[in-house]
């Protein structure tokens, strides 16, 4: 049978609001009612989105590199990252760029970035208030933005980097709300002014700053990621032109910091509410080891996946969960559901880093970075950054939660984010 699996029957507008405002309860109710695979109708889209969570289904989906992208990714990202972004290109064009952009993100290159992370964290922690509550998430955002700017641009004009940081932070804040996302879907459905148009002024300012950086590196290449992008050549010997370099820079700057900051904020929310795990981790960090730290990062990305969906549009028939889905179907793993399957993770809602001491995460039941030929380019970078930042923070500050209640999941851009920004109280360590 080539029919789509059943799903909620509420009007698309209601399904979309539930997804934007209460994503976890929406997903859980779909799991209860329909099981492993179901179809969701998002407002403003012609076709349903099939959501799957069984590892076999995810393997089957990500195993075929020819599938393309569903339209939702471009709706959310194109106005910011631009049409040549690695995140949005497909097929041969995508693979050719991916090959060019992989080298600086290879696992073995990570040591080189550790000191950048350590410096950025130290500078930020030195400015934290002592003994009174503050939100950790904005600090993690400033830190990870500083890190990616330094990795991408290396040594550069300090005032220009500060202006870029300020404009990029403003752009993300302006595009964050669920209300804006709903407005985008409304204008898609009914026409009318594009709510993202007002972001154009700030993207133009950012473009001007990026153009200055690109021109400088063309004249004087260095060791940084931007110089590498400019020096890279496609198989036919051609380089990327300036417009494309701009889109790939924007992609790295945007994809490379908000996600990692949010993952760090979640990790601290989880750790501070699990004193045994925190104590064990602090002991290990003080001893200069990182086995438990790696498990904490894996468990945090499992229980609080930052990016909820990483979908594809089928270019060939796919057999999953007893269904035959035709070409053209939009389908995505529901990452939260894949990560909280009781058959893969005993006590799936418990924060237990120990589970990853016994078994490393398995490829298709642990997919915070998506999978296959589009798996996150910065996964090794993000995990390195999380490890170094967590260890550095725990070495310098004793933290406790500012309130007894754990953070709720709220949408921010395309991510699941802690609704109050992970409020903590910090004290210097004796």
Interacting residues toward ligand HEM by CB under 6 A: 86-87, 98, 148, 251-252, 255-256, 259-260, 263, 306-307, 310, 368-371, 374-378, 381-382
Please check whether residue 301 is in contact with residue 56, taking contact to mean a CB–CB distance below 8 angstroms.
Answer: no
With tokens 């890190």, the residue in question is 147
Taking the least distance from each CB to ligand HEM, the nearer of 116 and 255 is 255
User: CA of 40: how far to CAs of 50, 67, 310, in Å?
Assistant: 6, 20, 15
From CA 88, how far away is CA 73, in angstroms rounded? Answer: 7
Please check whether residue 355 is in contact with residue 344, taking contact to mean a CB–CB distance below 8 angstroms.
Answer: no
CB of 368 to ligand HEM, least distance (A): 5
Dihedral angle sign, alpha carbons of residues 340, 343, 348, 354: negative
Report the number of secondary-structure helices (H) and strands (E) in the chain: 18, 11
Q: 418 — phi, psi (to 5°)?
A: -70, 125
CB of 377 to ligand HEM, least distance (A): 4
Query: Rounded to 10 degrees, what is the CA torsion of 158, 164, 170, 176?
Result: -120
Taking the least distance from each CB to ligand HEM, the nearer of 23 and 256 is 256
CB of 25 to ligand HEM, least distance (A): 22
For 322, the 3-state DSSP assignment is coil
Radius of gyration over alpha carbons of the chain, in Å? 21
Taking the least distance from each CB to ligand HEM, the nearer of 264 and 425 is 264
427 DSSP assignment:
E
CB of 311 to ligand HEM, least distance (A): 7
From CA 97, how far away is CA 232, in angstroms rounded? Answer: 10
Taking the least distance from each CB to ligand HEM, the nearer of 147 and 425 is 147
CB of 182 to ligand HEM, least distance (A): 22
CB of 349 to ligand HEM, least distance (A): 20
Q: Hey, which residues does 319 pair with through a beta bridge?
A: 324
Q: Hey, which residues does 424 pair with through a beta bridge?
A: 134, 401
Taking the least distance from each CB to ligand HEM, the nearer of 243 and 400 is 243
CB of 147 to ligand HEM, least distance (A): 9
Taking the least distance from each CB to ligand HEM, the nearer of 203 and 417 is 417
CB of 388 to ligand HEM, least distance (A): 13
What is the separation, in whole angstroms, between the first and last Cα of the chain? 66
CB of 254 to ligand HEM, least distance (A): 9
Q: Which residues contact 391 (CB under 8 A, 6 or more apart)?
A: 285, 290, 293
CA nearest to 75, candidates 49, 44, 50, 97: 44
User: CA of 348: how far to CAs of 145, 297, 339, 352, 370, in Å?
Assistant: 32, 16, 8, 9, 20
Taking the least distance from each CB to ligand HEM, the nearer of 382 and 393 is 382
Taking the least distance from each CB to ligand HEM, the nearer of 13 and 294 is 294
From CA 247, how far away is CA 80, in angstroms rounded? Answer: 9
Q: How far is CA 367 from the centre of its chain?
A: 11
CB of 144 to ligand HEM, least distance (A): 8
Taking the least distance from each CB to ligand HEM, the nearer of 195 and 413 is 413
Taking the least distance from each CB to ligand HEM, the nearer of 393 and 425 is 393
CB-facing half-sphere around the CA of 278: CA atoms within 13 A: 17
Q: Is 117 exposed, middle or buried (0-12, 13-18, 19+ CB in 10 A)?
A: buried
CB of 385 to ligand HEM, least distance (A): 7
Taking the least distance from each CB to ligand HEM, the nearer of 311 and 401 is 311
């Amino acid at each position: 049978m080539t029919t789509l699996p059943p799903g909620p029957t509420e009007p698309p507008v209601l399904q979309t609001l539930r997804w934007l405002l209460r994503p976890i309860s929406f997903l859980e109710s779909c799991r209860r009612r329909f099981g492993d695979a179901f179809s969701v109708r998002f407002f403003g889209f012609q076709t349903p989105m099939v959501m799957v969570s069984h590892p076999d289904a995810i393997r089957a989906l990500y195993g075929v590199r020819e599938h393309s992208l569903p339209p939702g990714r471009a709706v959310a990202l194109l106005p910011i990252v631009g049409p040549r972004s690695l995140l949005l290109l497909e097929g041969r064009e995508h693979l050719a760029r991916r090959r060019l952009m992989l080298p600086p993100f290879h696992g073995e290159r990570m040591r080189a970035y550790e000191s950048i992370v350590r410096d950025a964290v130290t500078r930020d922690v030195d400015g934290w208030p002592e003994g009174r509550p503050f939100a950790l998430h904005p600090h993690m955002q400033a830190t990870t933005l500083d890190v990616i700017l330094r990795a991408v641009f290396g040594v550069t004009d300090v005032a220009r980097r500060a202006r870029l940081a300020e404009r990029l932070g403003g752009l993300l804040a302006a595009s964050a709300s669920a209300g804006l996302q709903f407005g985008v879907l409304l204008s898609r459905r009914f026409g009318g002014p594009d709510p993202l148009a007002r972001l154009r002024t700030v993207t133009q300012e950012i473009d001007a700053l990026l153009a200055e950086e690109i021109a400088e590196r063309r004249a004087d290449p260095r060791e940084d990621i931007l110089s590498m992008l400019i020096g890279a050549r496609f198989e036919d010997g051609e380089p990327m032109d300036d417009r494309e370099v701009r889109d790939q820079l924007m992609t790295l700057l945007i994809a490379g910091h908000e996600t990692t900051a949010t993952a760090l904020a979640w990790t601290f929310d989880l750790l501070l509410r699990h004193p045994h795990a925190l104590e064990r981790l602090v002991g290990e960090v003080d001893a200069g080891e990182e086995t438990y730290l790696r498990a904490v990062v894996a468990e945090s990305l499992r229980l609080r996946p930052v990016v909820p969906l990483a979908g594809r549009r089928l270019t060939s028939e796919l057999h999953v969960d007893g269904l035959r889905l035709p070409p053209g179907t939009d389908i995505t793993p529901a990452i939260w559901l894949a990560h909280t399957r009781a058959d893969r993770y005993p006590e799936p809602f418990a924060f237990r880093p120990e589970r990853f001491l016994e078994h490393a995460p398995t490829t298709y039941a642990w997919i915070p970075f998506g999978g296959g030929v589009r798996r996150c380019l910065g996964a090794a970078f993000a995990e390195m950054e999380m490890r170094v930042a967590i260890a550095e923070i725990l070495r310098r500050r004793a933290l406790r939660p500012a309130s007894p209640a754990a953070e709720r999941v709220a949408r921010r851009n395309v991510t699941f984010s802690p609704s109050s920004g992970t409020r903590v109280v910090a004290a210097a360590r004796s």
